[in-house]
Structure 1
Amino acid sequence: MYLLGLGLVLLLLKWAQWGPVAGWAWWVVLAPFGLAILWWAWADASGYTKRKAMEREAARKAARVDRQRDALGLNPRKRR
């Protein structure tokens, strides 16, 4: 996501002909988009994306179980 944001900022600066980016070659300005594509391809191929989604789901499930236990009064009281 950071690479996509960087690419958008560089593209805007190149389009507006502002600062030193105006003199840069187009391939330098568009390189973050290519790197973002490579990152997403690697993340999907390696299972990184799926693993992070499973971790988020497990955390949501644990939080839901804890809330239900608190509502039922099954959690031991915390010491003060």
Structure 2
Amino acid sequence: MEENSDMLKIKNQIEWVKGDMDGLTALVHMTLEGIRTDSVGIDEVENAVASLYQLAETITNKIGDINEELVV
């Protein structure tokens, strides 16, 4: 029974990462669209890139955590 619980926990973690990836995709799209239409200034682009970086770090850390659980 514990194995099913572990698998469910990992499945949930993967779903959270997928949600983060969906957010990352949306943020990249918004940033590119703003640049393409020239409707954002450099400050907005800078803030968006900083957010992209932070979200990418979060996703990387979550994937690392999942990997550690799988290797046990």
Shorter-chain TM-score category?
Answer: 0.3 to 0.5
More helix by share: 2
TM-score scaled by length of structure 2: 0.46
Normalised by the length of structure 1, the TM-score is: 0.42
